[in-house]
A and B are shown apart, each in its own frame.
Chain A
Amino acid sequence: MSDASLNTSTQTPPYEAQFGDYFALLKPRVMTLVVFTAFVGLYAAPVATNPIIGFVAILFIAVGGGASGALNMWWDSDIDRIMKRTQKRPIPAGKVTEGEAFAIGIALSGFAVVMLSLATNLLAGALLAFTIFFYVVIYSMWLKRWTPQNIVIGGAAGAFPPMIGWAAATGSISVESVLMFTLIFMWTPPHFWALALFMKGDYHEAGIPMLTVTHGRRATRVHIIVYTVLLAALAVGTGFTGVGGPLYLAVAVVLNALFVKGSIDIWRRDEAIAEADGYAVEKKFFKLSLLYLFAHFGAIAFEAALMPFGLGGW
């Protein structure tokens, strides 16, 4: 760097990316879901884990998830500039370069996988590595711009954290951890399709083949109700397994009744009615979907917390 390039007294200094800009690459809001579900997977496992090892495991699952978010922002920076929802992300906002995002994503991915493997076991590390690969390569690079089933298959990436948490504690994969995976996997499509309904035009302008773009909004409403009914059967059924219990079952019955009702409300509407009230029902369903997932996993954690007192589970 020359002296001349440092003498900026007469010019506006170039924007220096701040720590928060780099942190934003890790998609902190998505990370809260990763942290919470990974924690529940680890906590609900029938093996006592040292609290420090448990904390380190959750931290590096979160770092791995964040790293995949940075790599996703690197790859999708072109469409992020087009979509209103993503225009404020660090790369389209001009705060961080694509190269920086790529470097941070790759470095943190390797770091998180190695640290998780060392702190817990190789299976947990391998599952984290596969999750990052799945989200970045399978979902972001391949499915997202190719098929309207992008969110259905790609949803698997967000479903892995409880399975990794469980594997970190037990060193294995079991029916319970697969059920937690499936719960998030089945929840993802209706959650994102509701978002696609009221973020009208965003995906179309960016050329992303979301269901709303390729099959129309009517078909998307039908898909939401079908997936929600299947999800409800799975979520209530999970209540009778090793991670379920009376409390979980009560939460599941109430929330799934509300969720199915919400999907019926969405299915019964047409675009004219939805536009007239500013997509109020679709937005309400989307907010409910967030509560839905946190409440289900919260109930699983609560059942596990009651176990030492002989109260949790069946």
Chain B
Amino acid sequence: MNCIVCMTSVPDTASVIKVGGDGKGIDGSGIKWIVSPYDEYALEEALQITEAKGGEVTVVTYGPDRAEAALRDCLARGAHQAVHILGGEATLGDSFTIAKVLAAAIKDREYDIVLCGFKGVGTDCGQVGQMLAGLLDLPHVVNVLELEVGDGSLTAGRDVEGGKEKLESPLPSLVTCQKGLNEPRYAALKGIMAAKKKPVEKIEVASLGVDEGAGGFYKVEKLELPPAKAAGTIIQGEDDAAAAAAELVKLLREEAKAI
């Protein structure tokens, strides 16, 4: 059972976001780039599938040089192979271009299941998996919280508003992974040392026949920070909580008109 995991590297979730000099992207100085948190669930699930059923996990990422650290992190956690498609600075948030690049790099490989995080943390699009499935002509299931891989098909569970869905899909399939699917492992020292020696296959994006400079499908006009908020009304409620509660409810009713 061979698994392909699509991984993207993103700013650490604790990062303070500042607007970069071009007014369209973020200021990358001082930012630590990590494996996008949802991709960790995809990798962990792939590792568990291959541990149970044999086969290999190949992690594919598309990004500039800095993405290699996250790719090495995946190798350290147990991925067998790593593919780094070099490029991607111009395509942040352009889900369809990203999907085209990934599809071109994946289509001739052997796989039974492709796993992605349900979204990249940061651009927050949640689209690449579905688009990639379309380009590879695979069925897909997004947001999976439960996954059972059988012979020739998989069953999956996910949350939808106000309920849960159970799905079945033939293999090969693409799934996107949601928090709660598993508990991602950390890299152990031994894995980190071994990962340093594992080769990373490098592919120039141009060699995949995708022109990054062609304008793409998502043009960012500007990036802005939210306006600073005025100070709120804070009530001291340590001594008389009931009076504070009554005052708050009155303010919410009469001033904020929120209840």
**Do A and B come together as binding partners?**
no
B interface residue numbers (CB < 8 A to A): none
